[in-house]
């Protein structure tokens, strides 16, 4: 038996044993999340000293499957847990980890304050400023497309601290408290009636100097860690290897945990992989003998395998001690194409009912989710066009795009509506 198979069986057995012995549906959600986090089974790939088991990344999917099989409430899964936590572990001091990680594993909602009206794909052109004032930094500017900002306790913020340096060098990375007078959050209402995204305005908002993550002026490197985790998460979520959906609302920590175990058609759909969901839709609403449907299913299966093997390459690089490289962009681009292909098939089979939401909608509304997500994944974490540029330059060896502004101080650039100083 191979070492990999040995590891799989050991982790499966240990996780199942602990979950069956410790799951108590009468605990509150907060109590259950704290119990599971302290055991290391909430975030098993994190270091042992920081709420993890130190497992290699490919075993995280094994633990996710065991949780579903045992029937427990999964750990929190949002920007705090998928993006902020790994970034803090990679770049934070021990004091910062002690200060922020307990709340993160306990279900706190955080938001990501990166994109701006004039700085999305070209993130390094951001204009939000942070100016030192004693033991604090004063922040002024605007962010946009910020998921869950209206519920967040903290935000991971990248701001410009030195406009005299070139645009990639004058950035710093902060953790900022969202509940303060200098921050205004304006939800962006969608035609569905929901408001996932927000505009965030900073007017003399303040952040303690000790909330600087990484080195002053080193924000771009810290942000790349966050973006790599975001792209890996988005790619993995497309074929079901992620632990669960991205949560952006504030959880009810006092709720009885047993009442939150998913049930019904939406839960069954959410608990299965993307390919299984499409197959169930075909069985329920379509015709598996139809030649067009069979061809579409074959295409989706091929794309799922491409995404799965690309994800394994990313995880193997991390296990070997390296940093995720351009394979992250390959995986995200493949996931984007996969979701659009799934969307088209699901819409064709379900027809107008695919736009419905609720327990009586196809797969409890999961088909509706994929229709919306097919657009989001093409933009969030870097657009498809950005991923193609990265692949072209770092995989195919094509010439880099000209960067005339590479060595020019930011204050001398014309960016968006801003004129050079």
Annotated catalytic, 327? Answer: no
- CA–CA distance from 349 to each of 126, 208, 215, 246, 373 (Å)? 43, 54, 52, 26, 18
| 421/33 Cα distance (integer angstroms) | 51
Crossing angle for the helix pair 274-285 and 291-319, nearest 10 degrees?
170
- Indicate which residue of 230, 296, 319, 412 is catalytic: 230
Q: Match 């959410």 to its residue by tokens.
A: 270
| 259/176 Cα distance (integer angstroms) | 33
DSSP one-letter string for 215-245: STT-HHHHHHHHHHHHHHHHHHHTTT-SSSP
| 269/281 Cα distance (integer angstroms) | 10
Q: Can you give the C-alpha Rg of the chain in angstroms?
A: 22
307 Cβ contact list (under 8 Å, min separation 6) = 235, 238, 239, 331, 334, 335, 338
Look up residue 287 and give its DSSP letter: -
- Grouping H, G, I as helix, E, B as strand and the rest as coil, residue 129 is strand
Rounded to an integer, what is the distance from CA 99 to the centroid of its chain?
A: 22
Q: Which residues are catalytic?
A: 230
């Amino acid at each position: 038996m191979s070492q990999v198979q040995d590891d799989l069986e050991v982790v499966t057995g240990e996780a199942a044993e602990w979950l069956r012995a410790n799951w108590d549906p009468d605990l509150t959600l907060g109590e259950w999340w704290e119990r599971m986090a302290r055991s290391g089974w909430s975030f098993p790939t994190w270091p042992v000293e920081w709420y993890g088991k130190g497992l290699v990344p490919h075993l995280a999917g094994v633990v996710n499957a065991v949780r579903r099989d045992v029937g427990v409430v999964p750990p929190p899964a949002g920007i705090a847990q998928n993006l902020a936590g790994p970034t803090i572990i990679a770049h934070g001091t021990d004091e910062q980890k002690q200060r922020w990680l307990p709340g993160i594993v306990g279900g706190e909602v955080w938001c990501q304050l990166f994109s701006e009206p004039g700085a999305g794909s070209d993130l390094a052109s951001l204009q939000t400023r942070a100016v030192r004032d004693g033991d604090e930094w004063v922040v002024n500017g605007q962010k946009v497309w910020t998921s869950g900002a209206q519920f967040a306790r903290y935000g991971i913020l990248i701001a410009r601290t030195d406009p005299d340096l070139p645009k990639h060098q004058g950035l710093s990375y902060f953790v900022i408290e969202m509940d303060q007078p200098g921050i205004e959050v304006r939800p962006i209402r969608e035609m569905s009636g929901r408001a996932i995204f927000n505009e965030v305005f900073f007017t003399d908002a303040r952040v303690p100097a000790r909330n600087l993550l990484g080195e002053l002026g080193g924000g771009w490197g810290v942000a790349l860690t966050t973006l790599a985790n975001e792209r890996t998460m988005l790619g993995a979520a497309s074929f079901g290897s992620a632990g669960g959906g991205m949560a952006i609302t504030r959880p009810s920590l006092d709720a009885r945990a047993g009442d939150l175990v998913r049930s019904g058609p939406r839960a069954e759909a959410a608990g299965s992989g993307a390919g299984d969901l499409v197959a169930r839709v075909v069985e329920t609403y379509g015709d598996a003998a139809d030649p067009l449907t069979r061809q579409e299913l074959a295409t989706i299966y091929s794309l799922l395998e491409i995404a799965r093997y690309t994800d394994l390459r990313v995880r193997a690089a991390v296990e070997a001690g390296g940093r995720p490289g351009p394979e992250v962009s390959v995986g995200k681009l493949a996931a984007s194409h996969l979701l659009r292909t799934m969307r088209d098939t699901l819409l064709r089979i379900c027809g107008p009912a695919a736009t419905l939401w609720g327990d009586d909608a196809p797969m409890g509304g999961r088909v509706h989710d994929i229709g919306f997500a097919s657009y989001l994944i093409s933009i969030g974490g870097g657009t498809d066009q950005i991923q193609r540029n990265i692949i072209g330059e770092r995989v195919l060896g094509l010439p880099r795009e000209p960067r005339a502004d590479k060595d020019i101080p930011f204050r001398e650039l014309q960016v968006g509506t801003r004129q050079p100083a």
